[in-house]
Amino acid sequence: MKNKKIVISSIIIILIVGIFFSANILEKNIKMQQSENDKIQISESDANKALNENKSSEQSVYLEIIDAVNDSSLFVGNVNIKDNKSLNEVMNEFLVKQGIKSVNQNGYIKMMYGLEEGKEGKSSGWIYYINGQKPSIGLKDCTLKSGDRITWKYIEDVSNE
């Protein structure tokens, strides 16, 4: 009888110890799983933040470059821009990237695509429009925003524009 009590007591002790350790292991597994979920949520949050930052900093404008003297289109398409870039910066980057020779004197484009100011007459040169309007400011002061339509025209007489 005494042996039976010792065996039963031992079994009960083993069961209690087993339940205690199982509970600790289960609790640790739950904490590890929560930690992994937190890491995944942080990673998704960081990815969404980076995606939104990229969307806000990398946008595009529509650019059209026309030789009105010879009635030809030199470029038509979208150009990626970054926020707060001036038209001067965008044009310099675009022309270099396209490998097009140009002369930009302090924010004034004298020549691009081989079409130079004064080449087709004393008043010939480049003129630009933003969203169909001739700006009253120079290239350096003209800050672009996504969706803007930029048109450059090489014309015989810039004074008539």
Structure confidence by residue, pLDDT tens digits, 85-105: 899 999 999 999 999 999 988
- Altogether, the residues listed in the chain come to a count of 161
- Contacts by 49-52 with C-beta closer than 8 Å and gap 24+? none
- Which has the minimum average pLDDT: 43-47, 131-135, 144-148? 43-47
Q: Which CATH architecture has domain 59-160?
A: Beta Complex (2.170)
What does the CA dihedral 135, 72, 115, 77 come to, rounded to 10 degrees? 60
For the chain, what is the mean pLDDT? 79
pLDDT digits (tens, 9 = 90+) for 30-76: 666 665 544 445 455 554 555 555 454 568 899 999 999 999 999 99
Supply the pLDDT for residue 40: 44
This prediction has a pTM of 0.63
